[in-house]
Chains A and B, each alone.
Chain A
Amino acid sequence: MIRFIVRRLLQLIPTLFGLSILLFIWLRRLPGGPETAILGERGTPEMRAAIRHNLGLDEPIMIQYGRFVRRMIRLDLGTSISTKREVTTEFLQRFPGTVELTITAMVIAIGIGIPLGYLAARRRGRLLDHLSVGGSLIGICIPVFFLAYILKAIFSENLGWFPSSGRQDPTLGATRITNFFVLDGLMTREWDAAADALWHLVLPGIALASIPLAIIVRITRASVLEVLNEDFVRTAEAKGLTENVVRRRHVLRNSLLPVVTSVGLLTGGLLSGAVLTETVFAFSGIGAFVAEAISQRDYPVLMGFIMIIAVVYVLVNLIVDLSYSLIDPRVRVR
């Protein structure tokens, strides 16, 4: 098991190496080069040359690449052009917010999706089945930002049940340790701060959960239907086991395999793509920040973001593979 984890983590190295080459080429091939990105269209040739010299762009390409890699290894992602702060610092502040939001969304999606998909399969062709299949279609079709606006309008602006924006009430003056606000609140025993941060997560979490929820319902339903027809379920029934045991031990566990795979992919997607939801709820996560960086041509931020997402995907896939092997002995790692 440990060897497997180490081997998979070592696989990160070639992945990141390949990515660094792509990113480096991309950076070099920008229209007009980085100096245009920094100066805009107005720079004089002298200013451009000065910037090229400052950035070391007049040196041989191998040396440039070597320096680029060295900085990456030291986790020095450079300075954001728009905020003038270290990219690493920005990320450490904002990424935890997105992680919290993603976890909330996935907890909602898994917590509702798997039972609902399972029940829909058991009651195939009946009302609950039609409702959940139809509902999941709607969930996939509704654009997330639209749902986010509706949730915000109803539950925070009209009913006032939930806060409409931000990650936490700033007047609480909560202590920051990890920048995971809920976790910070728990660590410092500032229970009200933790609860408030959690409260802020509800609406954006629901909005973000809509698509994963719909997908999980459908995959679970299809998977359970398939497993119900398996011979080993008939064997379990033939043994006279109670319905509960047959369902839990024999049906559900086997149905979870495809669900786990999709949960992994969906989680990676949410971490990198919660832009619209974060924007609607003025939630200071990584998504809104990166969207801003794109419009500002803030290349250091974008590059850092791409590298982080690559690492996140590899880690999420590792977790998926590990949980897969927990469920299914046939793919168990040695």
Chain B
Amino acid sequence: MALLEVDDLSVTFARRNQRAVHAVDGVSFSVDAGEVVGLVGESGCGKSVTSLAIMGLLPKQPGLRVGGKAVFDGTDLLQLDDRSRRDIRGRDIAMIFQDPLSSLNPVIPIGLQVTEVLTRHRGMKGDAAAKEAAQLLDRVGIPDPKRRLKEYPHQLSGGMRQRALIAMAVACQPRLLIADEPTTALDVTIQAQILELLKDLVRDSGTALVMITHDLGVVAGMCDTINVLYGGRVVETARRRPLFREPRHPYTVGLLGSVPRLDAGRGEKLNPIPGSVRDLLPWADGCAFAPRCTRRVDACVGQPPELVLAHDGRSYRCVNPAPVPGLTPAEAAPVTVAGAADVPVADEPPAPAAGPVPAPREEEKP
């Protein structure tokens, strides 16, 4: 059974006299123990709101409605009362945020910000907590941890701050770690270090990781499974290699096409996705991506596209998906639809390595 099973999660912000905003509109995905799962999409696609809803951290305000299920280890997180949620947060599920400076309390030393988690969930106090905190800082690669414990966030560099936040998140060896754009606020060399650190931590401890990002480079380097979100729904789910080799949803194709590549030919232009995420069709009226889609057909508008299950556990939500190279259009046609998941899936031949979009950089470790 999956460690976290998010099923038909929806988050709606309703405001008086205004149209309700469906920030998350029926998102489903699952995370197995020890797995690294990516939630990918551009700003406003609902990735952060999804993670905050799972954590129960959405700002309490009138008009907020959260529906669906988020089952963690047999418990539906969305049904828990505030107290039980606080027990789980930080202990079983931890989170790392985007901006390490604003995510740390400026007037409290780093040490206390680490030890307060230890005190809360592991009952550690005084010297024992301080010692453990120093070990945690050491583990996330902060040199001279004893001194750093006494320092304040403004005395640390950006990368150090993110490391400190990671130390707080892994302090109780959570089974699930949610990282919301953990490298976006950092410069590129630091980004690589932080990703490397996260990778090591989850590998060593068997923690499952949900990686929320808009950066396909991050996804390519880390994730086992990737969910592409658009307009508050998952539009494509696939293992890493198939997704990069043969993206089926036109949005995924567009995302991959907008990334500059080192192996691209000189003078070759990028293919950005036209329009912006605001050009959104409500899912009830058809495919939300249709207004920006290059493969739009008449069937896109009218009713929402069903989730299509293809081979190898991948699925996409499109009536006119990008063809898999080397297959005739008939072979590449949808095999089955969601809801009939038990129906055996036709086996497609393994796709050739040279797709329309080259495979991600190979860095699998044995």
What is A's interface to B at a CB cutoff of 8 Å?
125, 229-232, 234-243, 245, 249-250, 253-254, 327-330
Question: Are A234 and B97 in touch, CB under 8 angstroms?
Answer: yes
Tell me the complex Cα distance, A254–B109, Å: 13
Distance in Å: Cβ of B75 to nearest Cβ of chain A: 15
Distance in Å: Cβ of B203 to nearest Cβ of chain A: 23
Sample of 12 more A-B contacts, CB < 8 Å, known A231-B97, A253-B107, A327-B107: A231-B102, A234-B57, A238-B95, A240-B89, A240-B120, A243-B82, A245-B116, A249-B105, A253-B108, A329-B107, A330-B107, A330-B152
Known: A329-B154, A330-B152. A249 touches B116 (CB 8 A): yes
- B window 279-302: CB within 8 A of A: none
Whose C-beta in chain B lies nearest to the C-beta of A253? B107
Known: A231-B102, A245-B116, A254-B107. A238 touches B57 (CB 8 A): yes
Q: Which of B89, B116, B121 contacts A238 (CB 8 A)?
A: B89
What is B's interface to A at a CB cutoff of 8 Å?
55, 57, 59, 62, 82, 85-91, 94-95, 97, 99, 102-109, 112, 116-117, 120-121, 152, 154, 165, 168
Question: Are A330 and B57 in touch, CB under 8 angstroms?
Answer: no
Whose C-beta in chain B lies nearest to the C-beta of A233? B105
Tell me the complex Cα distance, A125–B86, Å: 25
Distance in Å: Cβ of A272 to nearest Cβ of chain B: 32
Distance in Å: Cβ of A37 to nearest Cβ of chain B: 53
Tell me the complex Cα distance, A210–B104, Å: 37
Question: Are B107 and A230 in touch, CB under 8 angstroms?
Answer: no
Using a Cβ cutoff of 8 Å, how many contacts connect chains A and B? Answer: 82
Q: Which residues of A sit under 8 angstroms from B103, Cβ to Cβ? A: 231-232, 234-235
Question: Are A236 and B120 in touch, CB under 8 angstroms?
Answer: no
Distance in Å: Cβ of B53 to nearest Cβ of chain A: 13
Q: Which of B82, B85, B117 contacts A239 (CB 8 A)?
A: B117
Distance in Å: Cβ of A259 to nearest Cβ of chain B: 14
Tell me the complex Cα distance, A189–B82, Å: 52
Distance in Å: Cβ of A135 to nearest Cβ of chain B: 24
Known: A231-B97, A234-B97, A329-B154. A254 touches B89 (CB 8 A): no
Known: A239-B116, A245-B116, A330-B152. A254 touches B106 (CB 8 A): yes
Tell me the complex Cα distance, A230–B112, Å: 18
Q: Which residues of A sit under 8 angstroms from B106, Cβ to Cβ? A: 232, 254, 328-330
Whose C-beta in chain A lies nearest to the C-beta of B121? A240
16 A-B residue pairings within 8 Å (CB atoms): A232-B104, A235-B165, A238-B55, A239-B89, A239-B90, A239-B120, A240-B85, A240-B86, A241-B90, A249-B105, A249-B108, A250-B105, A250-B108, A253-B107, A254-B105, A330-B107
Distance in Å: Cβ of B57 to nearest Cβ of chain A: 6
Whose C-beta in chain B lies nearest to the C-beta of A330? B154
Whose C-beta in chain B lies nearest to the C-beta of A238? B95
Whose C-beta in chain A lies nearest to the C-beta of B95? A238
Question: Are B59 and A229 in touch, CB under 8 angstroms?
Answer: yes
Whose C-beta in chain A lies nearest to the C-beta of B154? A330
Distance in Å: Cβ of A282 to nearest Cβ of chain B: 45
Q: Which residues of B sit under 8 angstroms from A125, Cβ to Cβ? A: 62
Q: Which residues of B sit under 8 angstroms from A329, Cβ to Cβ? A: 106-107, 109, 152, 154
Q: Which of A236, A240, A249 contacts B87 (CB 8 A)?
A: A240
Tell me the complex Cα distance, A241–B172, Å: 13
Whose C-beta in chain A lies nearest to the C-beta of B82? A243
Whose C-beta in chain B lies nearest to the C-beta of A227? B105
Distance in Å: Cβ of B176 to nearest Cβ of chain A: 12
Tell me the complex Cα distance, A327–B105, Å: 12
Q: Which residues of A sit under 8 angstroms from B86, Cβ to Cβ? A: 240-243
